[in-house]
Amino acid sequence: MVTLDAAWAERWMRRSAADMHAAREELTELDRRIGDGDHGVNMDRGFAAVASRLDDEAVPPRETVAQVLRLVATTLMSTVGGASGPLYGTAFLHAARVTNRADLDGAGVVALVEAAAEGITSRGRAVPGDKTMVDAWAPAVEAAERAADGGDAVEVLRAAAAAAADGAAATVPMIATKGRASYLGPRSAGTEDPGARSTAMLLAAAVAAAGAD
């Protein structure tokens, strides 16, 4: 049975930092069209700070996935501006509460994704169809739950990531009803939601960190 440990969680965060840096301009352009235009900058800054914290020898070693995710949560909340810092920080904080173990099996990955999504919705009060990152997280949860029936941790993670990517793409024709994009009304249609896009990237990075991309 394949499981995922704290070393995987650290690889996930370092891969996320690299991917957010590479996609900085892409995410910024998406957000420029329907938001504040700072999502790429903020995500790049936040995950660069996470990677720096992981490399800091003064920070105690992380022995559980929860310890890694808690470090991520506090770092994002203190370094990322706009809405994304509190939203992602809350997501990882909630995920840390259900991953206080050395290894995650398929059910553990489901719990992580469910808790992260719950953190997002509790903080942002969005629902599927509002054209937000929830439109990537909600299908990721559903796919993870389906894959958990006989699937190992990597299979569950892969299913969640694929569903998040599809969910993000599905935001393109939507009209935003939440956040700054909602001010544009019908003009918000035609652009992928940047938060949904970064969610899909994060889960894809988790798969890559497991050596399953």
CATH topology of domain 4-209: 1.25.40
| pLDDT value of residue 197 | 98
Partnered with residue 103 across adjacent β-strands are: 5
The residue among 145, 143, 146, 87 whose CA lies nearest residue 117 is: 87
Residue 100 three-state SS: coil
pLDDT single digits (tens) 104-155: 999 999 999 999 999 999 998 899 999 999 999 999 999 999 999 888 999 9
> Is 109:140 a contact under the CB 8 Å cutoff?
no
Q: DSSP state, 103?
A: E
What would the mean pLDDT of 40-54 be, rounded to a whole number? 96
Q: Which residues, 6 or more positions from 211, have their beta carbon under 8 angstroms from its beta carbon?
A: none
State pTM to two decimals: 0.94
Annotated domain spans of the chain: 4-209
Contact 31, 37 (CB under 8 A): yes
Helices 106-124 & 65-79 angle (0-180, nearest 10)? 20
Question: What is the three-class DSSP state of 101?
Answer: coil
Kindly report the number of other CB atoms within 10 A of residue 58's CB atom: 5
- pLDDT above 70 covers a percentage of the chain that reads 99
- Euclidean distance between the first and the last CA atom of the chain, given in angstroms as a whole number: 18
